[in-house]
Amino acid sequence: MDHLPLDLIDNILFRLDPISVIVMQCTNKFLRTYISDPKFDSYRFSLVGSSLFYISRHAPFYVICQKNIISSYPCYILGSCSGLLLLDIGGCFFVANPFTNRSRPLDHSGSNILYDIVTCVNKAMCVGFAVDRIQNQTKKRFKIVCIVEMQMMYGFEISNGHSWRLSETTITSSSKSDLAKRTKPVYLEGTLHWLRNDGSIIAFNPETEQACFIPSVFHQEPETELFFASDDKINRLALVSGTKEEISVYTLAENAKWALARQIKNVFMEQCELEFWSLVMYDGKRLVVREKKRNLEGVFHVYDMEANNWGVLGSTFWSSKGVTDFYKLTPSLSFVEEDEVKDNIPCYDPQASYLTAVMRSTDSPLAFGGQLQNLKLEP
């Protein structure tokens, strides 16, 4: 096969499921090198798109991949980064890649604050999940960072998957402002960023353990939805603020100020029929909005930033706004160091069946085909 044209090799490999692609790496050195190249990973899945995972913490508990109900076992997605999920399943923690069907259990007994964070809905934004590729390898390494608020001082608890420790790094703000509730940190260019209510940002590099304070100001207007994200096209932090009529996209400029980058007319919503709406996702290419009309299923609307038009991404049965977090999961064939196949978890353990269900959810055509084919969320 190493004598075949590359476009023909791609045609063959792209027809295989992720596990078969991994097996193909064992056939010869050429294919191992070719498949291990990050460009192959990126290009293969740019043709597939990304899936959208969300979960409610109101009982009963569900994780849904598009319209696929996985289970009612208590679970929470703590983070999504570089194709990996950080999962809390009934108080047990895992790092998992649903596309390679591999996972790794985490020992959280050494953490002094993680359990308190995951059991409190309003502290979910305190957990940061960072994943990076190990240079010249197919493996990835991850770090989990819990930020600790102490009045105007912030500390950081770090885990590399083996142990937990409190970083010696602390940072103090000159003004009092809480972390923005229900707003997950954004990982961009090796740094985790936590948004505060006043628009300022706490930045922390998990590798160097250096922290800094970005003192920008953002005044959120009443009755507006706010979403913190990264603009992957220009590698900048972004804030999306919207009303039922208009959505504004701001990017963090070099002078540490939020600059208006785009204004978009929101998808039309009948006020008399509207139950609620919310901002779901933004990555610089796509903006996703969820709309829920009375007595009807919720609908995901997606705005193509390049084509300047709205389309329908899919629907959901979820009937309550509740406390819901959304995550974009970008496919990847990479795995973390020392990860384990799910079969290593005792089969009688209820977490095992749930983890299996999460893995299998990505096999559904609704997750990466059908409606997502023309309106995919590209990596």
Label residue 70 by pLDDT band (50, 70, 90): very low
How confident is the model over 196-213, as a mean pLDDT?
Answer: 94
- Is residue 40's pLDDT more than 90? no
Neighbour-count burial for 51-76, b at 16+ CB within 10 Å, e otherwise: bbbbbbbeeebbbbbbebebbebbbb
Among 81-85, 262-266, 275-279, 369-373, the range of highest mean pLDDT? 262-266
Residue 207's pLDDT band (cuts 50, 70, 90):
very high
Answer whether residue 32 shows pLDDT above 50.
Answer: yes
pLDDT of res. 133: 75
Select the more confidently predicted residue: 100 or 266.
Answer: 266
Give ∠ CA 95-318-368 in degrees, rounded to 5: 55
How many CA within 13 A on the CB side of residue 263? 5
Mean predicted lDDT score pLDDT of the chain: 76
Question: What pLDDT does residue 83 have?
Answer: 81
pLDDT above 70 covers a percentage of the chain that reads: 72
CA angle 365, 322, 104 (to 5 degrees): 55
333: tokens are 């064939």
The alpha carbon of 16 is separated from its chain's Cα centroid by a whole number of angstroms, namely: 25
Helices 6-13 + 38-46 axis angle, to 10:
60
* 360 confidence band (pLDDT: 50, 70, 90): low
Is it the case that residue 35 has pLDDT exceeding 90? no
- The more confidently predicted of residues 292 and 19 is 292
Could you write out the three-class secondary structure of the chain?
A: CCCCCHHHHHHHHCCCCHHHHHHHCCCCHHHHHHHHCHHHHHHHHHCCCCEEEEEECCCCCEEEECCEECCCCCEEEEEEECCEEEEEECCEEEEEECCCCEEEEECCCCCCCHHHHHCCHHHHHHEEEEEEECCCCCEEEEEEEEEEEECCEEEEEEECCCCEEEEEEEEECCCCCCECCCCCCEEECCEEEEEECCCCEEEECCCCCCEEEECCCCCCCCCCEEEEEEECCCCEEEEEEECCCEEEEEEECCCCCEEEEEEEECCCCCCCCEEEEEEEEECCCEEEEEEEECCCCEEEEEEECCCCEEEEEEEECCCCCCCEEEEEECCCCCEECCCEEHHHCCCCCHHHHHHHHHHHHCCCHHHHCHHHCCCCCCC
For residue 16, pLDDT beyond 80: no
Model pLDDT, residue 73: 52
The pLDDT of residue 347 is above 50: no
> Does 320 score more than 70 pLDDT?
no
pLDDT at 80: 87
Q: Per-residue pLDDT for 332 more than 90?
A: no
The identity of residue 99, as a single letter, is F
Query: How confident is residue 121, by pLDDT bands cut at 50, 70 and 90?
Result: low
> Which of 31, 6, 16, 8 minimizes the C-alpha distance to 100?
16
The amino acid that residue 299 corresponds to is V
Q: How confident is the model at residue 152 (pLDDT cuts 50, 70, 90)?
A: confident
Q: Shortest CA distance to 131 belongs to which of 99, 101, 161, 98? A: 161
Q: Which residues contact 32 (CB under 8 A, 6 or more apart)?
A: 25, 26
Give residue 208's pLDDT band: very low, low, confident or very high (50, 70, 90): very high
Per the DSSP assignment, residues forming a β-bridge with 157 are 146, 166
Q: Higher model confidence: residue 372 or residue 52?
A: 52
Contact assessment for residue 204 and residue 191, using Cβ atoms and an 8 Å cutoff: yes
Please give the average per-residue pLDDT across 59-87, as a whole number.
60
pTM: 0.77
Burial of 299 by CB count in 10 Å (0-12 exposed, 13-18 middle, 19+ buried)? middle
Residues 153-180, mean pLDDT to the nearest whole number:
91
Mean pLDDT along residues 204-221: 91
Q: Which residue has the higher pLDDT, 143 or 21?
A: 143
Per-residue model confidence as pLDDT tens digits over 159-172: 988 889 999 999 99
Kindly tell me if the per-residue pLDDT of 348 is higher than 60. Answer: no
Q: What pLDDT is recorded for position 136?
A: 61
More confident residue, 61 or 306: 306
Of 49-63, 213-227, 241-255, 337-351, which gets the smallest average pLDDT? 49-63
Nearest CA to 214 among 228, 226, 227, 224?
228
Q: What is the pLDDT of residue 150?
A: 85
**Of 291, 271, 279, 68, which is closest to residue 300 (Cα–Cα)?**
291
- Give percent above pLDDT 90 in the chain: 24
pLDDT value at 96 more than 80: yes
Q: Please give the structure tokens belonging to residue 13.
A: 């490999």
- pLDDT for residue 230 is more than 80: yes
